[in-house]
């Protein structure tokens, strides 16, 4: 028997409601710290507003949500909370890092005895750093399960994000000098020249951390 118009309307309403719930939950999972900061009820209403303005363009929901940080920045009811957009940028970047392509880590012996004046290092596709206007790294960290509250540092922070071999995605703050060091490596500068960009910071500890964490790869020749 053919379905009636009323039956089709009910089925569509159920589908639409299910799709909205699925999208809202996907957004909450991608921006878990934002949901924790705002509360589930407020976040659900916020998600509905975002979905209305920025519906997914693909059935792959982990590719959806890039506009959310900017949406938060310009959402008038949250105008007094500028750190929310920065925290959302961290959450989004973590998802990007998790789904980034894989690449073979630099062999341990590659750094031993290499000439820093000529050695060029590549950065894993999952590695990224974000210059933030607020202490969002500290806020993000304090809103992780089991974290203890602490005083926030003044001013903005730079977030370093990458994917470890066990698929955990850590977030920590780095200095402007360390960010300059990474930018120089990404631009193809030899290790010694990149280290000079970090001054007065010594980038040795960061270099070792990234090497042990699999975030350094062979430098790719320019196309």
Q: For each of the chain's 223 residues, which pLDDT tens digit applies? A: 545 555 434 543 433 455 677 888 889 999 999 999 999 999 999 999 999 999 877 666 678 899 999 999 999 999 999 999 999 999 999 999 999 999 999 988 888 878 999 999 999 999 999 999 999 999 999 999 888 888 999 999 999 999 998 999 999 999 999 999 999 999 999 999 999 999 999 999 999 999 999 999 998 765 4
* 123 touches 215 (CB < 8 A): yes
Neighbours of 109 (CB within 10 A): 8
Q: Is the dihedral of CA 148, 129, 23, 81 positive or negative?
A: positive
Instruction: Indicate the DSSP class of residue 217.
Output: E
Q: Contact at 8 Å (CB) between 190 and 119?
A: yes
Q: How far is 209 from 37, CA to CA, in rounded Å?
A: 30
Query: Which tokens is 138 given?
Result: 């500290």
Under a CB-based contact definition with an 8 Å cutoff, are residues 34 and 87 in contact?
yes
What are the phi and psi torsion angles at 217 (to 5°)?
Answer: -135, 175
The counts of H helices and E strands in the chain are 9, 5
Tell me, what's the pLDDT at 24? 86
pTM of the model: 0.86
Please report the sign of the dihedral spanned by the C-alpha atoms of residue 185, residue 188, residue 191, residue 192: negative
Q: Convert the pLDDT of each residue in 28-84 to its tens digit.
A: 999 999 999 999 999 999 999 999 999 877 666 678 899 999 999 999 999 999 999
Determine the pLDDT at residue 13: 43
């Amino acid at each position: 028997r053919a379905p009636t118009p009323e039956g089709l309307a009910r089925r569509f309403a159920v589908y639409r409601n299910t799709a909205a719930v699925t999208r809202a939950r996907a957004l909450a999972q991608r921006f878990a710290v934002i949901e924790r900061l705002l509360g589930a009820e407020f976040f659900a209403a916020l998600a509905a507003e975002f979905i209305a303005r920025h519906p997914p363009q693909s059935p792959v929901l982990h590719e959806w949500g890039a506009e959310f940080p900017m949406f938060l920045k310009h959402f008038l009811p949250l105008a007094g909370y500028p750190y929310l957009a920065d925290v959302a940028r961290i959450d989004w970047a973590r998802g990007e890092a998790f789904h980034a392509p894989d690449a073979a880590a630099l062999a341990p012996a590659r750094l031993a005895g290499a000439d820093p004046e000529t050695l060029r290092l590549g950065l894993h596709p999952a590695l990224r750093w974000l210059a933030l206007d607020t202490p969002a790294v500290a806020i993000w960290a304090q809103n992780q399960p089991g974290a203890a509250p602490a005083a926030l540092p003044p001013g903005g922070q730079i977030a370093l994000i990458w994917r470890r071999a066990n698929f955990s995605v850590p977030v920590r703050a780095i200095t402007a000098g360390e960010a300059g060091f990474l930018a120089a490596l990404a631009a193809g500068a030899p290790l010694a020249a990149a280290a000079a960009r970090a001054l007065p910071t010594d980038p040795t500890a960061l270099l070792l951390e990234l090497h042990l964490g699999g975030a350094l790869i062979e430098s790719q020749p320019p196309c």
